[in-house]
Amino acid sequence: MAHVIVGVTGGIAAYKAAELVSLLGKQGHEVRCIMTSAAQQFITPLTLQTLSGNPVYTDMFHPQDNMEWQVEHIGLARWADCVLIVPATADFIGKVAHGLADDFLSTCVMATAAPVIFAPAMNDQMYANPIVQRNIATLREAGYRFVDPVDGNLACGTSGKGKMASPGEIAAVLETLREQDLRGLKIVVTAGPTREAIDPVRFMTNHSSGKMGYAIARQAANRGADVVLVSGPSAQPVPSGVTVVKVASARDMFEAVKAQYDAADVVIKAAAVADYRPKTVATQKIKKSEGDMVLELERNPDILAWLGEHKKHQILMGFAAETNDVREHALGKLARKHLDFIAANDVTMSHSGFGKDTNQITVYGADGRVHELPVLAKEAAADQLLNLVLEKYQSKKALS
Ligand code: C5P
């Protein structure tokens, strides 16, 4: 989670700043917004206040009633891990390039030591103007970064290069600013459900969306790890920088994980693996008949139990999605499967479990420590799990 300032200047793309603020919040970042007076002609401070959950800074000299007056722009400049200027008008780019600082946003940009990223949005001719381009070059030279605009339809009725990058692309740039504290680690993550065939058209599965496992893979890659994601069928987008191995059945997943095991430093098993599969798979579609039908099931291999039995240097984290007696079941699995950690959650709770964007996890360690995490976005929860894994890896390394 990072402290992010979103500075909004006066262009029609300001409405997309609202979407960006919402997205950053969902990703677990704490967002504070600053608006120039021109920005307030396009959207209101109330919009960004509601989406960020924080008061919006608009005025240098007349802070809002609920803000403390303590040279706010300097305090905020220090607080930030990153400043995003969304949208960045030609005017604002020119102002910063020439060292002008006469309002809340420009003074904050001038005073911060955090990375500042501009997302320009303007008419294509304005963007192509040599003065604007020179200002951008000056800022780049000084270490400021840009998410370039793209070709597209512009608000002025023309089309060309000047349309602001999407909120998703702007948010993704934040990830490249992350500390690469997992560099050198090979992490295998499993995610999603498995599918066990009944006949050529039917299968057994479960409600797993893959969101938690994909979030772990994404965050691990963002922090520099070499990540292999072994995924059952999932609609989640493949995180960039992650190697994905797609599988269907538990047995496919078993083979894929085994192939990665020797080289892995860490295995995190977030997949919801089917414990049973149909004993025989019909080669033709099963036809209905008058009476009931019985489907005979046989056990699937327990992948994690196998990994536990064959563990050498690897750190193993399992997941326990439970509907009752969470602690007892989790501790049982931790011991039985020789795990280093088990991340347990009660999937009957409204903010946890299948398909949700948030999770409330309690992590039990083999060392007896219990880490109760608050309700977090799955990305933020993933980071906490990775912190525990990293701490364990570093303490193992220090001992060896
Ligand atoms: O299904 P169960 O609650 O035992 O799952 C606990 C952990 O074991 C999870 O991390 C799951 O991915 C893993 N598991 C597995 N192979 C199975 C069943 C579960 O790896 N056949």
Which amino acid, 52? S
**62 band by pLDDT with thresholds 50, 70 and 90:** low
Query: Which residue is associated with the tokens 């002008």?
Result: 100
The verdict on the CB of residue 189 being under 6 Å from ligand 1 is no
Return the best residue to mutate from 303, 324, 326 for the ligand 1 pocket (most ligand atoms within 8 A of CB).
303
Q: What is the Å distance from ligand 1's center to 276 Cα? A: 12
- Tens-digit pLDDT profile for residues 196-229: 999 999 999 999 999 999 999 999 998 889 999 9
Average pLDDT over residues 273-290: 96
Q: Residue with the nearest Cα to atom 21 of ligand 1?
A: 302
pLDDT, residue 67, reads: 53
Distance 343 CA to ligand 1 centre (A): 12
Task: Dump pLDDT digits (tens) for 299-321.
Answer: 999 999 999 999 999 999 999 98
* Ligand 1 lined by 192 (C-beta under 6 Å): no
**Residue having the nearest C-alpha atom to atom 8 of ligand 1:** 304
So what's the pLDDT on residue 245?
A: 98
b/e code 321-359 from CB counts within 10 Å (16+ = b): bbeeebeebbeebbeebbbbbbbbbbbeeeebbeebebb
pLDDT in tens, 252-266: 999 999 999 999 999
Q: Over 80: is that where the pLDDT of 5 sits? A: yes
Q: Is residue 96 within 8 Å of 75, Cβ to Cβ?
A: no
Q: What is the pLDDT of residue 192?
A: 97
Q: Quick one: pLDDT at residue 320?
A: 94
Q: Is the pLDDT assigned to residue 172 strictly greater than 50? A: yes
Domains of the chain: 3-175 (3.40.50.1950), 186-279+291-399 (3.40.50.10300)
Q: What is the pLDDT of residue 70?
A: 46
Q: What is the mean pLDDT of the chain?
A: 92
Residue 286 has pLDDT above 50, yes or no: yes
DSSP letters, 221-289, are HHTT-EEEEEE-S--SPPPTT-EEEE--SHHHHHHHHHHHHTT-SEEEE--B--SEEESS--SSPPPP-
What spacing in Å lies between the alpha carbon of 206 and ligand 1's midpoint? 13
Site of tokens 């997941």? 319
66-105 pLDDT, tens digit each: 455 445 777 888 899 899 999 999 999 999 999 999 999 9
Query: What pLDDT is stored for residue 71 in this prediction?
Result: 55
Specify the pTM: 0.69
Instruction: Yes or no: say if 282 and 199 are a contact pair by the CB < 8 Å rule.
Output: yes
321-373: per-residue pLDDT in tens?
888 999 999 999 999 999 999 999 888 887 776 777 888 999 999 999 999 99
CB 356 within 8 A of CB 346: no
Catalytic residues: 156
Does 343 sit in the ligand 1 pocket, CB within 6 Å? no
Q: How do residues 230-244 score in pLDDT, each as one tens digit?
A: 999 999 988 777 899
Q: Which of 258, 257, 264, 223 is nearest to 241 (CA)?
A: 223
274 CA closest ligand 1 atom index = 21
Q: Is 302 in the pocket of ligand 1 (CB under 6 A)?
A: yes
pLDDT computed for residue 126 by the predictor = 96
Tell me what the mean pLDDT of segment 97-125 comes to. 95
Q: Is 338 helix (H, G, I), strand (E, B) or coil?
A: coil
Which residue, 22, 28, 3, is CA-closest to 359?
28
Q: State yes or no: pLDDT of 60 exceeds 90.
A: no
- Cis peptide bond prior to 87, omega within 30° of 0: yes
Question: Residue 290, class by beta-carbon neighbours within 10 Å (0-12 exposed, 13-18 middle, 19+ buried)?
Answer: exposed
Q: Taking Cα atoms as reference points, which of 147, 143, 260, 272 lies closest to residue 207? A: 272
